[in-house]
Structure 1
Protein backbone atom coordinates (compact mmCIF):
# COMPACT_ATOMS: atom_id res chain seq x y z
CA UNK A 1 0.00 0.00 0.00
CA UNK A 2 1.35 3.41 -0.95
CA UNK A 3 2.44 5.76 1.80
CA UNK A 4 -0.01 8.69 1.81
CA UNK A 5 2.01 10.83 4.22
CA UNK A 6 3.51 14.20 3.38
CA UNK A 7 6.17 15.59 5.71
CA UNK A 8 6.84 19.34 5.70
CA UNK A 9 9.20 21.52 7.73
CA UNK A 10 7.92 24.93 8.80
CA UNK A 11 9.77 27.78 10.50
CA UNK A 12 8.19 30.76 12.23
CA UNK A 13 10.49 33.57 13.37
CA UNK A 14 10.15 37.19 14.49
CA UNK A 15 13.15 38.78 12.77
CA UNK A 16 13.33 42.02 14.87
CA UNK A 17 12.83 45.21 12.84
CA UNK A 18 15.55 47.33 14.48
CA UNK A 19 19.33 47.24 14.78
CA UNK A 20 21.67 45.86 12.13
CA UNK A 21 18.73 44.49 10.15
CA UNK A 22 20.22 43.88 6.70
CA UNK A 23 23.26 42.04 8.05
CA UNK A 24 21.09 39.81 10.19
CA UNK A 25 18.67 39.15 7.34
CA UNK A 26 21.54 38.14 5.07
CA UNK A 27 22.63 35.60 7.66
CA UNK A 28 19.05 34.42 8.05
CA UNK A 29 18.63 34.06 4.29
CA UNK A 30 21.67 31.81 4.12
CA UNK A 31 20.27 29.65 6.93
CA UNK A 32 16.89 29.39 5.20
CA UNK A 33 18.55 28.25 1.99
CA UNK A 34 20.77 25.76 3.78
CA UNK A 35 18.01 24.27 5.94
CA UNK A 36 15.62 23.95 2.97
CA UNK A 37 12.41 24.62 4.85
CA UNK A 38 9.15 23.96 3.06
CA UNK A 39 7.36 26.95 4.60
CA UNK A 40 8.77 30.02 6.36
CA UNK A 41 6.60 32.49 8.30
CA UNK A 42 8.44 35.69 9.23
CA UNK A 43 7.35 38.69 11.27
CA UNK A 44 8.82 42.22 11.57
CA UNK A 45 10.46 42.19 8.14
CA UNK A 46 8.83 45.62 7.59
CA UNK A 47 10.28 46.75 4.25
CA UNK A 48 9.72 45.25 0.82
CA UNK A 49 13.39 45.56 -0.05
CA UNK A 50 14.21 43.35 2.94
CA UNK A 51 11.60 40.79 1.88
CA UNK A 52 13.06 40.83 -1.63
CA UNK A 53 16.53 40.25 -0.15
CA UNK A 54 15.30 37.16 1.69
CA UNK A 55 13.60 35.87 -1.45
CA UNK A 56 16.86 36.11 -3.38
CA UNK A 57 18.87 34.38 -0.67
CA UNK A 58 16.39 31.64 0.26
CA UNK A 59 16.50 29.99 -3.15
CA UNK A 60 14.98 26.78 -1.85
CA UNK A 61 11.71 28.71 -1.29
CA UNK A 62 10.87 30.18 -4.72
CA UNK A 63 7.25 31.05 -3.89
CA UNK A 64 6.18 33.89 -1.62
CA UNK A 65 3.36 35.95 -0.18
CA UNK A 66 3.73 39.53 1.04
CA UNK A 67 2.19 42.87 0.14
CA UNK A 68 3.18 46.52 0.21
CA UNK A 69 5.10 48.75 -2.19
CA UNK A 70 7.52 50.08 0.44
CA UNK A 71 6.25 49.08 3.89
CA UNK A 72 4.96 45.52 4.09
CA UNK A 73 1.47 44.91 5.39
CA UNK A 74 2.04 43.89 9.00
CA UNK A 75 5.74 43.24 8.36
CA UNK A 76 4.74 39.70 7.40
CA UNK A 77 6.52 37.49 4.86
CA UNK A 78 5.66 33.95 3.84
CA UNK A 79 8.18 31.96 1.79
CA UNK A 80 7.39 28.51 0.41
CA UNK A 81 8.94 25.64 -1.48
CA UNK A 82 5.45 24.90 -2.80
CA UNK A 83 3.18 27.13 -4.93
CA UNK A 84 1.07 29.76 -3.18
CA UNK A 85 -2.32 29.22 -4.77
CA UNK A 86 -3.89 32.26 -3.18
CA UNK A 87 -3.30 34.60 -0.28
CA UNK A 88 -4.96 37.56 1.33
CA UNK A 89 -4.24 40.08 4.01
CA UNK A 90 -6.42 40.49 7.11
CA UNK A 91 -5.80 43.65 9.08
CA UNK A 92 -6.49 43.74 12.80
CA UNK A 93 -8.63 46.54 14.28
CA UNK A 94 -6.65 49.62 15.34
CA UNK A 95 -7.73 50.05 18.95
CA UNK A 96 -6.63 52.47 21.65
CA UNK A 97 -4.35 53.23 23.37
CA UNK A 98 -2.54 55.10 20.62
CA UNK A 99 1.00 53.70 20.34
CA UNK A 100 3.82 53.58 17.77
CA UNK A 101 3.06 49.91 17.11
CA UNK A 102 -0.08 50.93 15.20
CA UNK A 103 2.19 52.07 12.35
CA UNK A 104 3.01 48.40 11.75
CA UNK A 105 -0.61 47.74 10.67
CA UNK A 106 -0.64 44.36 12.34
CA UNK A 107 -2.70 41.50 11.00
CA UNK A 108 -2.43 38.10 9.35
CA UNK A 109 -1.57 36.52 6.01
CA UNK A 110 -4.00 33.78 5.04
CA UNK A 111 -2.50 31.61 2.31
CA UNK A 112 -3.31 28.34 0.58
CA UNK A 113 -0.34 26.28 -0.55
CA UNK A 114 -0.32 23.49 -3.10
CA UNK A 115 1.67 20.91 -1.16
CA UNK A 116 2.14 17.26 -2.17
CA UNK A 117 -1.04 15.29 -1.61
CA UNK A 118 -3.36 18.28 -1.58
CA UNK A 119 -3.63 21.77 -0.15
CA UNK A 120 -2.60 23.35 3.13
CA UNK A 121 -3.79 26.61 4.68
CA UNK A 122 -0.99 28.56 6.34
CA UNK A 123 -1.71 31.65 8.43
CA UNK A 124 1.19 33.89 9.44
CA UNK A 125 0.34 36.43 12.12
CA UNK A 126 1.67 38.99 14.59
CA UNK A 127 -0.55 40.30 17.37
CA UNK A 128 -0.14 43.52 19.33
CA UNK A 129 2.37 43.57 22.16
CA UNK A 130 1.24 43.79 25.76
CA UNK A 131 3.27 46.78 26.91
CA UNK A 132 2.12 46.25 30.50
CA UNK A 133 3.34 42.62 30.63
CA UNK A 134 -0.01 41.96 32.27
CA UNK A 135 -2.22 39.35 30.60
CA UNK A 136 -5.06 39.49 33.12
CA UNK A 137 -8.55 39.64 31.58
CA UNK A 138 -9.14 43.27 32.54
CA UNK A 139 -5.85 44.58 31.12
CA UNK A 140 -6.16 47.11 28.27
CA UNK A 141 -3.84 45.15 25.98
CA UNK A 142 -5.57 41.87 26.71
CA UNK A 143 -8.72 43.54 25.37
CA UNK A 144 -6.86 44.44 22.17
CA UNK A 145 -5.46 40.94 21.76
CA UNK A 146 -8.90 39.39 22.24
CA UNK A 147 -10.27 41.62 19.48
CA UNK A 148 -7.41 40.61 17.19
CA UNK A 149 -8.00 36.93 17.87
CA UNK A 150 -11.69 37.42 17.11
CA UNK A 151 -10.75 38.91 13.74
CA UNK A 152 -8.32 36.04 13.16
CA UNK A 153 -10.97 33.44 14.02
CA UNK A 154 -13.28 35.09 11.52
CA UNK A 155 -10.64 34.78 8.82
CA UNK A 156 -10.15 31.09 9.63
CA UNK A 157 -13.89 30.50 9.32
CA UNK A 158 -13.70 31.41 5.61
CA UNK A 159 -11.26 28.60 4.82
CA UNK A 160 -12.37 25.49 2.99
CA UNK A 161 -13.06 22.89 5.73
CA UNK A 162 -11.25 20.30 3.57
CA UNK A 163 -7.96 22.08 4.22
CA UNK A 164 -5.71 21.28 7.16
CA UNK A 165 -4.57 24.50 8.82
CA UNK A 166 -1.38 25.82 10.40
CA UNK A 167 -1.41 29.15 12.26
CA UNK A 168 2.05 30.41 13.21
CA UNK A 169 3.64 33.58 14.45
CA UNK A 170 4.27 35.97 17.31
CA UNK A 171 1.02 36.04 19.28
CA UNK A 172 2.45 38.17 22.10
CA UNK A 173 0.38 35.99 24.44
CA UNK A 174 1.87 33.48 26.87
CA UNK A 175 1.27 29.81 26.21
CA UNK A 176 -1.73 28.73 28.26
CA UNK A 177 -3.16 32.26 28.58
CA UNK A 178 -6.94 32.50 28.60
CA UNK A 179 -7.30 34.42 25.31
CA UNK A 180 -5.06 31.96 23.47
CA UNK A 181 -6.83 28.96 25.00
CA UNK A 182 -10.24 30.37 24.06
CA UNK A 183 -9.10 31.10 20.51
CA UNK A 184 -7.76 27.58 20.05
CA UNK A 185 -10.94 26.03 21.46
CA UNK A 186 -13.18 28.18 19.24
CA UNK A 187 -11.25 27.38 16.06
CA UNK A 188 -10.38 23.73 16.72
CA UNK A 189 -6.65 24.44 16.72
CA UNK A 190 -4.04 22.60 18.79
CA UNK A 191 -0.82 24.10 20.16
CA UNK A 192 2.03 21.82 19.06
CA UNK A 193 4.19 22.97 22.00
CA UNK A 194 1.40 22.93 24.57
CA UNK A 195 3.47 21.13 27.21
CA UNK A 196 6.64 23.17 26.67
CA UNK A 197 7.51 25.82 29.26
CA UNK A 198 10.60 27.30 27.56
CA UNK A 199 10.45 30.99 26.60
CA UNK A 200 10.46 31.93 22.92
CA UNK A 201 11.60 35.47 23.72
CA UNK A 202 15.30 35.78 24.49
CA UNK A 203 15.80 36.34 28.25
CA UNK A 204 17.49 39.59 29.26
CA UNK A 205 18.69 40.96 32.60
CA UNK A 206 15.58 43.14 32.77
CA UNK A 207 13.31 40.25 31.74
CA UNK A 208 15.08 37.08 32.90
CA UNK A 209 12.06 34.78 32.62
CA UNK A 210 9.87 35.81 29.69
CA UNK A 211 6.99 33.57 28.62
CA UNK A 212 6.54 31.69 25.36
CA UNK A 213 5.01 34.30 23.03
CA UNK A 214 5.48 32.56 19.67
CA UNK A 215 3.25 29.63 18.78
CA UNK A 216 2.37 27.10 16.11
CA UNK A 217 -1.21 25.84 16.11
CA UNK A 218 -2.57 23.12 13.82
CA UNK A 219 -5.94 21.74 12.78
CA UNK A 220 -6.70 18.55 10.88
CA UNK A 221 -9.38 18.26 8.23
CA UNK A 222 -11.75 15.50 7.16
CA UNK A 223 -9.60 12.83 5.57
CA UNK A 224 -6.37 14.74 6.20
CA UNK A 225 -4.78 14.42 9.64
CA UNK A 226 -2.05 16.77 10.86
CA UNK A 227 0.47 15.65 13.44
CA UNK A 228 3.37 17.83 14.47
CA UNK A 229 6.47 18.03 16.56
CA UNK A 230 8.42 21.20 17.17
CA UNK A 231 11.59 22.59 18.70
CA UNK A 232 13.13 26.00 19.32
CA UNK A 233 15.86 27.08 16.90
CA UNK A 234 17.98 30.17 16.09
CA UNK A 235 18.92 30.50 19.73
CA UNK A 236 22.65 31.05 19.34
CA UNK A 237 24.67 33.90 17.83
CA UNK A 238 25.28 33.40 14.10
CA UNK A 239 28.20 34.58 11.94
CA UNK A 240 27.59 37.74 9.90
CA UNK A 241 29.26 38.57 6.59
CA UNK A 242 31.82 40.90 8.23
CA UNK A 243 33.02 38.24 10.66
CA UNK A 244 31.02 39.36 13.67
CA UNK A 245 28.62 37.05 15.47
CA UNK A 246 25.19 38.26 16.50
CA UNK A 247 21.84 36.98 17.66
CA UNK A 248 19.44 37.17 14.72
CA UNK A 249 16.56 38.45 16.84
CA UNK A 250 15.22 39.03 20.32
CA UNK A 251 13.02 35.96 19.67
CA UNK A 252 13.83 32.33 19.05
CA UNK A 253 12.42 30.52 16.05
CA UNK A 254 10.10 27.53 16.14
CA UNK A 255 10.84 24.74 13.69
CA UNK A 256 7.90 22.37 13.20
CA UNK A 257 7.80 19.06 11.38
CA UNK A 258 4.28 18.58 10.03
CA UNK A 259 3.04 15.20 8.89
CA UNK A 260 -0.08 15.24 6.72
CA UNK A 261 -1.74 11.84 6.51
CA UNK A 262 -4.54 10.87 4.16
CA UNK A 263 -5.39 12.23 0.73
CA UNK A 264 -7.97 14.53 -0.80
CA UNK A 265 -8.38 16.93 -3.65
CA UNK A 266 -7.24 20.34 -2.48
CA UNK A 267 -9.80 22.98 -1.81
CA UNK A 268 -9.11 26.60 -1.10
CA UNK A 269 -10.33 29.74 0.56
CA UNK A 270 -14.02 30.52 0.27
CA UNK A 271 -13.08 34.11 -0.47
CA UNK A 272 -10.97 35.27 -3.40
CA UNK A 273 -7.28 35.90 -2.74
Structure 2
Protein backbone atom coordinates (compact mmCIF):
# COMPACT_ATOMS: atom_id res chain seq x y z
CA UNK A 1 0.00 0.00 0.00
CA UNK A 2 1.26 3.48 -0.81
CA UNK A 3 0.04 7.06 -0.55
CA UNK A 4 0.37 9.43 -3.48
CA UNK A 5 -0.29 13.17 -3.20
CA UNK A 6 -2.03 14.88 -6.11
CA UNK A 7 -3.01 18.49 -6.81
CA UNK A 8 -5.54 19.77 -9.32
CA UNK A 9 -5.52 23.52 -9.98
CA UNK A 10 -7.00 25.94 -12.51
CA UNK A 11 -4.08 28.35 -12.93
CA UNK A 12 -6.07 31.22 -14.58
CA UNK A 13 -4.91 32.24 -18.06
CA UNK A 14 -5.21 36.03 -17.67
CA UNK A 15 -4.15 38.81 -15.28
CA UNK A 16 -0.47 38.94 -14.27
CA UNK A 17 0.05 35.41 -15.52
CA UNK A 18 3.83 35.08 -15.49
CA UNK A 19 4.40 36.38 -11.92
CA UNK A 20 1.64 34.10 -10.66
CA UNK A 21 3.04 31.08 -12.50
CA UNK A 22 6.53 31.75 -11.13
CA UNK A 23 5.03 31.85 -7.64
CA UNK A 24 3.05 28.70 -8.35
CA UNK A 25 6.19 26.92 -9.52
CA UNK A 26 7.96 27.90 -6.32
CA UNK A 27 5.05 26.58 -4.23
CA UNK A 28 5.04 23.31 -6.17
CA UNK A 29 8.80 22.91 -5.81
CA UNK A 30 8.48 23.18 -2.01
CA UNK A 31 5.48 20.88 -1.86
CA UNK A 32 5.36 17.13 -1.54
CA UNK A 33 2.99 16.56 -4.44
CA UNK A 34 3.72 13.54 -6.59
CA UNK A 35 1.39 14.53 -9.44
CA UNK A 36 0.11 17.99 -10.41
CA UNK A 37 -2.74 18.52 -12.90
CA UNK A 38 -3.10 22.08 -14.15
CA UNK A 39 -5.80 23.72 -16.27
CA UNK A 40 -5.81 27.07 -18.12
CA UNK A 41 -2.14 27.07 -19.04
CA UNK A 42 -2.56 29.10 -22.21
CA UNK A 43 0.88 28.94 -23.84
CA UNK A 44 3.70 26.43 -24.06
CA UNK A 45 6.03 29.16 -22.77
CA UNK A 46 3.90 29.29 -19.61
CA UNK A 47 4.16 25.51 -19.21
CA UNK A 48 7.93 25.77 -19.65
CA UNK A 49 8.06 28.55 -17.04
CA UNK A 50 6.33 26.35 -14.46
CA UNK A 51 8.54 23.39 -15.33
CA UNK A 52 11.69 25.46 -14.86
CA UNK A 53 10.42 26.86 -11.56
CA UNK A 54 9.66 23.33 -10.28
CA UNK A 55 12.57 21.16 -11.50
CA UNK A 56 11.88 18.37 -9.01
CA UNK A 57 9.03 17.31 -11.30
CA UNK A 58 11.20 15.37 -13.70
CA UNK A 59 8.29 14.16 -15.83
CA UNK A 60 5.80 16.39 -17.60
CA UNK A 61 3.25 16.23 -20.38
CA UNK A 62 1.29 18.57 -22.60
CA UNK A 63 0.58 18.56 -26.32
CA UNK A 64 0.69 21.39 -28.86
CA UNK A 65 3.59 23.38 -30.28
CA UNK A 66 2.41 26.83 -29.09
CA UNK A 67 -0.88 26.38 -27.25
CA UNK A 68 -1.12 23.41 -24.88
CA UNK A 69 -4.15 21.39 -26.01
CA UNK A 70 -7.05 22.11 -23.69
CA UNK A 71 -4.74 24.28 -21.55
CA UNK A 72 -3.86 21.06 -19.71
CA UNK A 73 -0.44 20.37 -18.16
CA UNK A 74 0.68 17.36 -16.14
CA UNK A 75 3.74 17.47 -13.86
CA UNK A 76 4.91 14.34 -12.09
CA UNK A 77 7.68 13.06 -9.87
CA UNK A 78 6.75 9.57 -11.08
CA UNK A 79 7.40 8.31 -14.63
CA UNK A 80 4.62 8.88 -17.14
CA UNK A 81 4.12 5.72 -19.19
CA UNK A 82 1.67 7.05 -21.79
CA UNK A 83 -0.35 10.21 -22.41
CA UNK A 84 -2.93 11.30 -24.97
CA UNK A 85 -5.28 14.24 -25.45
CA UNK A 86 -8.89 13.86 -26.55
CA UNK A 87 -10.80 16.95 -27.62
CA UNK A 88 -14.42 17.48 -26.63
CA UNK A 89 -17.05 17.90 -29.36
CA UNK A 90 -18.17 21.40 -30.25
CA UNK A 91 -21.66 21.67 -28.83
CA UNK A 92 -24.01 24.48 -27.88
CA UNK A 93 -23.67 28.25 -28.27
CA UNK A 94 -20.71 29.49 -30.33
CA UNK A 95 -18.17 31.08 -27.98
CA UNK A 96 -14.53 32.14 -27.76
CA UNK A 97 -13.95 29.18 -25.45
CA UNK A 98 -13.69 27.01 -28.58
CA UNK A 99 -10.18 28.43 -29.07
CA UNK A 100 -9.00 26.55 -25.98
CA UNK A 101 -9.76 23.19 -27.63
CA UNK A 102 -11.07 21.85 -24.33
CA UNK A 103 -10.82 18.15 -23.69
CA UNK A 104 -9.22 15.50 -21.51
CA UNK A 105 -5.58 14.59 -20.97
CA UNK A 106 -5.38 10.86 -20.27
CA UNK A 107 -2.11 9.63 -18.77
CA UNK A 108 -0.80 6.47 -17.14
CA UNK A 109 1.62 7.19 -14.29
CA UNK A 110 3.93 4.62 -12.72
CA UNK A 111 3.71 4.09 -8.95
CA UNK A 112 5.18 1.61 -6.49
CA UNK A 113 1.75 -0.10 -6.51
CA UNK A 114 1.61 -0.33 -10.29
CA UNK A 115 0.28 2.01 -12.99
CA UNK A 116 -2.44 4.57 -12.26
CA UNK A 117 -4.62 6.30 -14.86
CA UNK A 118 -4.64 10.06 -14.28
CA UNK A 119 -7.26 12.00 -16.25
CA UNK A 120 -6.92 15.79 -16.24
CA UNK A 121 -9.81 17.77 -17.73
CA UNK A 122 -11.45 21.18 -18.12
CA UNK A 123 -15.08 21.29 -19.25
CA UNK A 124 -16.84 24.24 -20.85
CA UNK A 125 -18.12 26.99 -18.58
CA UNK A 126 -21.81 27.52 -17.92
CA UNK A 127 -22.15 31.22 -18.77
CA UNK A 128 -25.66 31.34 -17.32
CA UNK A 129 -24.74 29.97 -13.89
CA UNK A 130 -27.78 27.69 -14.25
CA UNK A 131 -27.12 23.96 -14.01
CA UNK A 132 -30.73 22.84 -14.38
CA UNK A 133 -31.61 20.14 -16.91
CA UNK A 134 -33.26 22.61 -19.31
CA UNK A 135 -30.38 25.10 -19.48
CA UNK A 136 -28.61 25.47 -22.85
CA UNK A 137 -25.20 24.75 -21.33
CA UNK A 138 -26.41 21.54 -19.72
CA UNK A 139 -26.52 20.07 -23.22
CA UNK A 140 -22.87 21.04 -23.60
CA UNK A 141 -21.98 19.40 -20.28
CA UNK A 142 -23.82 16.20 -21.22
CA UNK A 143 -21.95 15.97 -24.52
CA UNK A 144 -18.56 16.58 -22.91
CA UNK A 145 -19.17 14.19 -20.02
CA UNK A 146 -20.40 11.58 -22.49
CA UNK A 147 -17.14 11.96 -24.40
CA UNK A 148 -15.17 11.73 -21.15
CA UNK A 149 -17.08 8.59 -20.17
CA UNK A 150 -16.02 7.09 -23.49
CA UNK A 151 -12.37 7.89 -22.77
CA UNK A 152 -12.66 6.24 -19.34
CA UNK A 153 -14.25 3.18 -20.97
CA UNK A 154 -11.23 2.92 -23.31
CA UNK A 155 -8.84 2.52 -20.37
CA UNK A 156 -7.51 -0.87 -19.40
CA UNK A 157 -10.03 -2.13 -16.81
CA UNK A 158 -7.10 -3.30 -14.68
CA UNK A 159 -6.12 0.34 -14.06
CA UNK A 160 -7.35 2.29 -11.04
CA UNK A 161 -8.41 5.78 -12.11
CA UNK A 162 -8.31 9.31 -10.73
CA UNK A 163 -10.18 11.91 -12.82
CA UNK A 164 -9.58 15.51 -11.81
CA UNK A 165 -9.91 19.07 -12.98
CA UNK A 166 -12.25 21.99 -13.46
CA UNK A 167 -15.53 20.32 -14.38
CA UNK A 168 -17.40 23.66 -14.30
CA UNK A 169 -20.26 21.81 -12.60
CA UNK A 170 -21.28 21.80 -8.92
CA UNK A 171 -21.09 18.36 -7.34
CA UNK A 172 -24.86 18.56 -6.78
CA UNK A 173 -25.58 19.04 -10.51
CA UNK A 174 -27.61 16.15 -11.84
CA UNK A 175 -25.48 15.92 -14.96
CA UNK A 176 -22.29 15.42 -12.95
CA UNK A 177 -23.95 13.05 -10.47
CA UNK A 178 -25.22 10.92 -13.35
CA UNK A 179 -21.75 10.80 -14.90
CA UNK A 180 -20.14 9.75 -11.61
CA UNK A 181 -22.67 6.96 -11.13
CA UNK A 182 -22.41 5.69 -14.71
CA UNK A 183 -18.59 5.73 -14.67
CA UNK A 184 -18.32 4.17 -11.19
CA UNK A 185 -16.47 7.17 -9.77
CA UNK A 186 -16.38 8.27 -6.13
CA UNK A 187 -16.12 11.95 -5.17
CA UNK A 188 -13.19 12.53 -2.79
CA UNK A 189 -14.87 15.70 -1.45
CA UNK A 190 -18.38 14.28 -1.17
CA UNK A 191 -20.33 16.22 1.43
CA UNK A 192 -17.95 19.20 1.42
CA UNK A 193 -19.93 22.40 0.84
CA UNK A 194 -16.99 24.76 0.37
CA UNK A 195 -16.43 26.55 -2.95
CA UNK A 196 -13.40 25.93 -5.16
CA UNK A 197 -13.93 29.24 -6.99
CA UNK A 198 -12.90 32.36 -5.11
CA UNK A 199 -16.00 34.33 -3.98
CA UNK A 200 -16.37 37.81 -5.47
CA UNK A 201 -18.85 40.65 -5.11
CA UNK A 202 -20.46 39.56 -8.39
CA UNK A 203 -20.49 35.90 -7.32
CA UNK A 204 -20.48 35.81 -3.51
CA UNK A 205 -21.54 32.16 -3.17
CA UNK A 206 -19.90 30.12 -5.91
CA UNK A 207 -20.05 26.32 -5.82
CA UNK A 208 -17.29 23.74 -5.97
CA UNK A 209 -16.38 23.39 -9.65
CA UNK A 210 -13.11 21.47 -9.25
CA UNK A 211 -13.29 17.79 -8.38
CA UNK A 212 -11.26 14.67 -7.61
CA UNK A 213 -13.02 11.46 -8.63
CA UNK A 214 -11.59 7.96 -8.13
CA UNK A 215 -12.36 4.42 -9.28
CA UNK A 216 -10.80 1.15 -8.15
CA UNK A 217 -9.95 -1.79 -10.38
CA UNK A 218 -10.20 -5.55 -9.78
CA UNK A 219 -7.50 -6.45 -7.29
CA UNK A 220 -6.27 -2.83 -7.01
CA UNK A 221 -8.06 -0.30 -4.85
CA UNK A 222 -7.76 3.47 -4.82
CA UNK A 223 -9.34 5.68 -2.17
CA UNK A 224 -8.89 9.38 -1.53
CA UNK A 225 -9.19 12.06 1.08
CA UNK A 226 -9.05 15.64 -0.14
CA UNK A 227 -9.00 19.23 1.02
CA UNK A 228 -9.18 22.68 -0.57
CA UNK A 229 -5.87 24.58 -0.73
CA UNK A 230 -4.35 27.81 -2.11
CA UNK A 231 -7.01 29.98 -0.49
CA UNK A 232 -4.61 32.64 0.84
CA UNK A 233 -2.39 35.24 -0.85
CA UNK A 234 1.24 34.32 -1.51
CA UNK A 235 4.37 36.42 -2.15
CA UNK A 236 4.70 37.33 -5.83
CA UNK A 237 7.82 38.48 -7.67
CA UNK A 238 8.35 42.18 -6.95
CA UNK A 239 7.48 41.92 -3.28
CA UNK A 240 3.71 42.19 -3.44
CA UNK A 241 1.10 39.69 -2.26
CA UNK A 242 -1.52 38.13 -4.48
CA UNK A 243 -3.69 35.10 -5.12
CA UNK A 244 -2.44 32.33 -7.37
CA UNK A 245 -5.74 32.14 -9.27
CA UNK A 246 -9.45 32.85 -9.23
CA UNK A 247 -9.83 29.17 -8.26
CA UNK A 248 -8.63 27.33 -5.19
CA UNK A 249 -6.71 24.10 -5.58
CA UNK A 250 -7.82 20.65 -4.50
CA UNK A 251 -5.21 18.47 -2.84
CA UNK A 252 -5.86 14.74 -2.60
CA UNK A 253 -4.03 11.98 -0.81
CA UNK A 254 -4.60 8.81 -2.81
CA UNK A 255 -4.19 5.44 -1.12
CA UNK A 256 -3.30 2.69 -3.59
CA UNK A 257 -3.36 -0.92 -2.49
CA UNK A 258 -3.36 -4.37 -4.03
CA UNK A 259 -5.84 -7.01 -2.93
CA UNK A 260 -6.33 -10.65 -3.97
CA UNK A 261 -7.59 -11.01 -7.55
CA UNK A 262 -11.34 -10.60 -7.76
CA UNK A 263 -11.53 -9.25 -4.20
CA UNK A 264 -11.24 -5.51 -4.87
CA UNK A 265 -12.74 -3.35 -2.16
CA UNK A 266 -15.35 -0.74 -2.78
CA UNK A 267 -13.80 2.75 -2.92
CA UNK A 268 -14.20 4.66 0.34
CA UNK A 269 -15.74 8.13 0.31
CA UNK A 270 -13.31 11.01 0.70
CA UNK A 271 -12.84 12.53 4.13
Match of 2:155 in 1: 159
User: Aligned residue for 2:20?
Assistant: 24
State how far apart, in whole Å, the 2-side matches of 1:263 and 1:105 are: 39
Does the 8 Å CA contact 1:10/1:37 hold for their aligned counterparts? yes
Higher mean C-alpha deviation, range 255-264 or range 75-84: 255-264
Please name the residue that 1:100 is paired with: 96
Provide the rounded CA distance (Å) in 2 between the counterparts of 1:119 and 1:53: 28
Match of 1:244 in 2: 240
Write the distance in 2 (CA, Å) between the matches of 1:107 and 1:168: 12
Determine which of 231, 234, 237 is the counterpart of 1:235.
231
Structure 1 match to 2:214? 218
- Counterpart residue number, 1:143: 139
Over the residues paired in the alignment, what is the CA RMSD in angstroms?
A: 1.2
Deviations 1:119-170 (A, max 9, x none): 0000000000000000010111010011000000000001111110000000
Mapping for residues 36-115 of structure 1, pairs under 5 Å? 36-115=32-111
User: In the aligned structure 1, how far is the partner of 2:113 from the partner of 2:260?
Assistant: 7
Within 1, Cα distance between the matches of 2:220 and 2:53?
33
- The residue that corresponds to 1:268 in the other structure is none
Aligned length: 261
- Post-superposition offset of 1:36: 2.6
1:74 is paired with a residue whose SS is helix
Tell me the residue number matched to 1:202: 198
How far is 1:86 from its partner?
A: 0.4
Structure 1 stretches of at least 4 aligned residues deviating more than 4 Å after TM superposition = none
Matches of 1:198 and 1:130, distance apart in 2? 19
Is the CA contact 2:91–2:139 (under 8 Å) kept in the aligned structure 1?
no
User: Does structure 2 conserve the Cα–Cα contact (< 8 Å) formed by 1:6 and 1:117?
Assistant: yes
SS at match of 1:118: coil
Output the CA distance in 2 between the equivalents of 1:263 and 1:99. Answer: 47
8 Å CA contact retained: 1:118, 1:264: no
Question: Is 1:123–1:167's contact at 8 Å kept on the other side of the alignment?
Answer: yes
Match of 2:257 in 1: 261
2-side partners of 1:97 and 1:262: how far apart? 45
Q: Provide structure 2 residue ranges, at least 5 long, that are not aligned to the other structure.
A: 262-271
Q: TM-score, normalised by structure 2?
A: 0.94
Query: What TM-score results when the alignment is normalised by the length of structure 1?
Result: 0.94
Structure 1 position 263, deviation (Å): 6.3
Query: 2:197–2:206: 8 Å Cα contact kept in structure 1?
Result: yes
Check whether the contact 1:14–1:43 (CA below 8 A) recurs between aligned residues: yes
Structure 2 counterpart of 1:132: 128
Q: Could you list the per-position Cα deviations for residues 239-270 of structure 1 after superposition, in whole angstroms to 9, with x for gaps in the alignment? A: 012101010100000000001011699xxxxx
